[in-house]
């Protein structure tokens, strides 16, 4: 049986709503943790621009009061060094787990958000062996892979990463806020290409 997978370009209108619609379709094929918002594990580090996609998404979800559990933020990232430890915190919870990470691809794929059934395979783009994450995943293609991947991640444009993080965070929030939430017409976006305004900084700032 083939996995359900969607590719959303950040350059298309309302990418956040498109992410939400894709997530709702993938959710419908998974019965685990039905009715509860998924636990989101955002993999990456703020030490490399391209690899900061996951922590940015995690922080945006936290700042916007996402009702589910979030692991991996700018303040407390989940990365290669502590991923296995983070996964032990979720053993036996029975919740649906959504993995989020950056990845590398072809030049044509840069700026694409992939929403798919099946676990996230972090580290493959930089040739690391890490445990799989989640029952479904979102991956953002932030740059071109195939050569000097670590340098490529460090030289990725922050503008692209932030736009993708906004769209992913808004898509997750929208998809988990009620049935057919992605069909709602958003108000004009403020400070985000993802849909409705997102809190882009902690409320205390």
The number of distinct structural domains making up the chain is: 1
Residue 146 lies in a domain: yes
In a domain, 201, yes or no: no
Residues in contact with 180: Cβ distance below 8 Å, sequence separation at least 6, in sequence order: 24
| pTM of the predicted model as reported, rounded to 2 decimal places | 0.86
CATH number at residue 45: 3.40.50.1450
Structural domain includes residue 195: no
HSE of 47 in the Cβ direction (CA atoms, 13 Å)?
10
Q: What angle do CA 97, 33, 58 make, to 5 degrees?
A: 30
Structural domain that includes position 155: 5-183
In this structure, is residue 66 part of a structural domain? Answer: yes
Whether residue 64 lies inside any domain: the answer is: yes
* Domain presence at residue 159: yes
Rounded mean pLDDT, 38-49? 93
| Per-residue pLDDT tens digits for 147-200 | 777 788 888 999 999 999 999 999 999 999 865 555 554 443 333 444 455 665
Residue 133 located in a structural domain = yes
């Amino acid at each position: 049986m083939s996995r359900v997978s969607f590719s959303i370009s950040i350059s298309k209108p309302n990418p956040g709503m498109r992410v939400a619609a894709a997530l709702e379709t993938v959710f419908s094929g998974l019965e685990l943790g039905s009715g509860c918002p998924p636990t989101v594990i955002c993999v990456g580090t703020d030490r490399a621009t391209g690899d900061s996609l996951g922590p940015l998404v995690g922080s945006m979800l936290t700042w916007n009061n996402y009702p589910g559990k979030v692991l991996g933020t700018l303040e407390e990232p989940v990365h290669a060094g502590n991923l296995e430890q983070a996964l032990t915190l979720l053993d036996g919870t029975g919740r649906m787990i959504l993995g989020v990470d950056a990845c590398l691809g072809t030049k044509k794929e840069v700026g694409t958000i992939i929403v798919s059934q099946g676990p996230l395979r972090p580290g493959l783009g930089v040739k690391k062996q890490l445990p799989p994450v989640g029952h479904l995943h979102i991956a953002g293609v932030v740059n071109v892979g195939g050569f000097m991947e670590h340098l490529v991640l460090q030289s990725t444009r922050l503008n692209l990463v932030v736009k993708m993080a906004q769209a992913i965070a808004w898509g997750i929030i929208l998809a988990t806020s009620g049935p057919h939430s992605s069909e709602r017409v958003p108000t004009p976006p403020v400070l985000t290409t993802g849909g409705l305004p997102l809190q882009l900084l902690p409320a205390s700032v």
